[in-house]
Amino acid sequence: MDIKHGIKIIGTGSYTPETVVKNSDFSEYMDTDDEWIYSRTGIKERRFNTGKTNFFMAGEAAKRALDSAGAKPEEIDMIIVSTASPDFFYPSAACLVQNIIGAKNAAALDVSAACAGFIYALDVARNYLFAGKYKKIMVIASEFLSRQFDFYDRTVSVLFGDGAGCVIIGGSRRPYASVLGAAGEGCSDMKLFCKANYGMNVPFAKTADKEEQDPYIRMNGKDVYKFAVDIMPKAVKEVCPQAGFALSDVDLLIPHQANIRIINSAMKDLGIPAEKVFLNIEKRGNISSACIPVCLDELNRAGKLRDGARICAVAFGAGFTYGAAAFEL
Ligand code: UT7
């Protein structure tokens, strides 16, 4: 594919809930503390959604992106939502957003690739733009992970936060490349998962069929960590040359905000200096697939998405999935 069929960011928006939960709030009811959480993860606080739906957050991010783009909802040709924490199996989150914002001309679909979902969704959008069918696509990632917590599981509940980010993109003649992948062995002994909960209210089921339905996120943190420190720099090293630039040409690296130690290890491997790496993990925690679009919106509102900037975004997630996108604005 021609690397000169790139993307143009027309608008960005994000929504993070009002409720701020600090590390010390967890110490009030379980054996953990700020020192452990901050030194092992880089997280000080995160936002938790209390009382709203996931699609409400996605809709707010979408409205803010429309404002930033100066675009009308009817101009949107397609809405793609990445989420690992939807409100419904169906309708899709994208349809729910389409209805809220009144994007009556938009096709709507969801993407499921866990924390790497935004990179996957961006790539789907870019390919539709490249095919010439659509002009403006809204790419959203929205996560309500706190509702999947066992709040007493200190190995998970301190890591994640809630929120949504949205970018509206169009096509451009600037460079763009992506690397997407999956290492399905991440499922073989369930290193990071959250079961679909069907309730098992089945009158005909035998006792064995009614086995415990654990509805919470469960994770083998060490195995996820090992996968991440290996794949993040590999994916960046692969994608940048495909977009036609050297690692030293990258102006902004936007990594999945999972753990500051994973990010530092990747930066060291890549030789990318800290001032080029965007971080919001300290205040937001890991918002799964919403990390990268929320970062993009924060960067945009700070005036840092300048024309010609070379961006590389990289993420990994359950599955395991991974993805990196390198593009020039
Ligand atoms: O989007 C992708 C999502 N997931 C990830 O990115 C996770 C990747 N993995 C990680 O970030 C790290 O593995 C963790 C932050 C989850 C854990 O850090 P670690 O340095 O790998 O710690 P550990 O699992 O080796 O645990 C060390 C100790 C254990 O106690 P013992 O067995 O040494 O007595 C844990 O039980 O720390 C304990 N521990 C805690 N202590 C206080 C685990 N969680 C906590 C906690 N507070 N919240």
Summarised one tens digit per residue, pLDDT across range 245-289 is: 999 999 999 999 999 999 999 999 999 999 999 999 999 999 999
Q: What is the pLDDT of residue 188?
A: 83
Do 193 and 78 belong together in one domain?
no
Residue 27 to residues 75, 119, 131, 260, 271, Cα–Cα distance (Å): 48, 34, 52, 21, 37
Do 217 and 257 belong together in one domain?
yes
Mean pLDDT, rounded, for 304-327:
97
Do 36 and 148 belong together in one domain?
yes
Q: Which two tokens stand for residue 95?
A: 């349809």
Do 51 and 148 belong together in one domain?
yes
Question: What's the predicted TM-score (pTM) here?
Answer: 0.96
Within its chain, how far is the Cα of 92 from the centroid? 17
Radius of gyration of the chain (CA): 19
Do 169 and 272 belong together in one domain?
no
Q: What is the pLDDT of residue 112?
A: 97
Summarised one tens digit per residue, pLDDT across range 70-105 is: 999 999 999 999 999 999 999 999 999 999 999 999
Do 185 and 36 belong together in one domain?
no
Q: What is the pLDDT of residue 212?
A: 65
Residue of 23, 54, 95, 256 marked catalytic: 256
Which residues surround ligand 1 with Cβ inside 6 Å?
32, 36-37, 40-41, 115, 154-155, 158, 219, 221-222, 224-225, 228, 258-259, 286, 288, 317
Do 97 and 221 belong together in one domain?
no
Question: Known catalytic residue: 291?
Answer: no
Residue of 194, 286, 291, 300 marked catalytic: 286
Residue to mutate (ligand 1; options 217, 225, 232, 262; most atoms within 8 A of CB):
225
Residue 292 placed within a domain: yes
Do 67 and 167 belong together in one domain?
yes
Do 315 and 216 belong together in one domain?
yes
- Percent of residues, the chain, with pLDDT higher than 70: 95
Domain count, the chain: 2
Question: Known catalytic residue: 5?
Answer: no
Q: What is the pLDDT of residue 3?
A: 66
Beta bridge partners of 108: 79
- Percent of residues, the chain, with pLDDT higher than 90: 90
Do 40 and 132 belong together in one domain?
yes
Give the other-Cβ count within 10 Å of 308's Cβ: 8
Q: For residue 261, which atom of ligand 1 is closest to its CA?
A: 11
Question: Residue 213 — very low, low, confident or very high, per pLDDT cuts 50/70/90?
Answer: confident
The C-alpha torsion from 146 through 150 and 153 to 158, rounded to 10°, is: 10
**In which domain, by residue range, is 152 found?**
6-173
Contacts of residue 159, Cβ cutoff 8 Å, sequence gap at least 6: 41, 43, 258, 259, 285, 286
Residue 205 placed within a domain: no
Distance (Å, whole) CA 84 – CA 114: 5
Q: Where are the beta strands (DSSP E) in the chain?
A: 6-15, 19-22, 45-48, 78-82, 107-111, 137-144, 162-172, 176-182, 192-193, 218-219, 252-255, 310-317, 321-328
Measure 251 CA to ligand 1 centroid, in angstroms. 32
Do 22 and 140 belong together in one domain?
yes
Do 51 and 154 belong together in one domain?
yes
CATH of the domain at 140: 3.40.47.10
Q: Which helix (H) or strand (E) holds 153?
A: none
* Cβ-contact 149, 159 below 8 angstroms: no
